[in-house]
Amino acid sequence: MIQTIIQIPKGIEVGDSIQKAKDLYGNRYYTRIEQGVTIIGYVDKKHNQSLEFWCDSKNKIILYRLDDNSME
């Protein structure tokens, strides 16, 4: 599996607090739990993308994921 690290425009990095993401991206997010990890996500309907932040039990970001739903 090849992983590519992308830069998030607002400067969020792995290790930052989930609160930093909420402060920068706002309060219009969804939450879910996958594999025991809390995830918050933001949807960009205009560009058909979503950005998710996965956080650990200490509310630190351990992974972020950009999903381009327009990809085939």
Question: Residue 11 — very low, low, confident or very high, per pLDDT cuts 50/70/90?
Answer: confident
Classified as helix, coil or strand, 63 is: strand
Return d(Cα 13, Cα 10) in angstroms, integer. Answer: 9
Question: Whole-prediction pTM value?
Answer: 0.81
At a CB cut-off of 8 Å and minimum separation 6, what does 30 contact? 40, 41, 43
**pLDDT above 60 for 71:** no
- Please give the share of the chain, as a percent, with pLDDT higher than 90: 61
Cα–Cα distance, 19 to 25 (Å, whole number)? 10
Mean pLDDT of 35-63: 93
**Residue 8: both structure tokens together:** 């998030």
- Would you list the domain boundaries of the chain? 13-42
Structural contact between residues 49 and 68, judged by C-beta atoms closer than 8 angstroms: yes
Quick one: pLDDT at residue 20? 95
